Structures are given as C-alpha cells and as structure tokens.
Amino acid sequence: MECQTKDFQQQYKKEMRAVQDSMDVLHGKWKIAVLSSICYYNKRRFSDILNDIDGISNRMLSKELKELEFNKLIHRNVLNTQPVSIEYTLTDHGNTLKTIINNLHEWGVEHRKKIVEG
C-alpha cells in the first residue's frame, strides 16, 4: 500500500512540475493576451498587437515578444519593405496553445456573466 502511495506522489509531482513549467513560460499579465492577438489574426505587426491590448506599453510588448520568441512560441518575420516591417506568427509549437487560448476565452465569457449578472 505504501508503495502505491509513493508512486502516486511521484506521479503527482511530475504533473505539478509540468504545470509549473507551463506557468513559467506563460506567466505575467500580458503573454496570453499577446498570444491571443496573434492567434486570432494569424499574422500581427507590433502596432496591431499594441492596439489590441489595452494598457500594455511599447517596452513591455517588446519584452514579451522577445520572451515568447525565445520560448519558440512565436516567429518574428522581418519583411523586405520600406520602412522595414515585422510580422509575428505562431510557430507550430505556439499553435498547440490555441485550444488553451480558446478555452480561456470561453471560460472568461462565462465567468464575466457570473460576476456581472450575480
């Protein structure tokens, strides 16, 4: 019996580690909003994302985009235009977050109804 408990605890710790790894990558006030902007439009320029998200500063958006790119969730594509334009898209790895983003959206809509409507 004790062996089963130990196995369960080890499995639980692995699961919690996976959740913590996910939260480490997606932590903060803005990352999911940035990913949502890119996700819904497929391609977004810096100014588009900035306009999509109320309250984010240029500096913070730049920081979040760099971290998302570092974690291989978005791709930064420099376009050959005058002046130079940059588009952001989700990577294949970033696309795996679409279900989570959609679920968060649906949950947020329902949560707002509960809170606002009482």
Largest CA distance in the chain: 70
pLDDT at 2 exceeding the cut of 70: no
Q: Are 86 and 101 in contact (CB under 8 A)?
A: no
CATH class of 29-117: mainly alpha
H or E element at residue 26: helix 2-26
Give the single-character DSSP code of 88.
Answer: E
Least confident of 3-7, 16-20, 27-31, 43-47: 3-7
Can you give the pLDDT at residue 7? 82
44 phi and psi angles, rounded to 5 deg: -140, 140
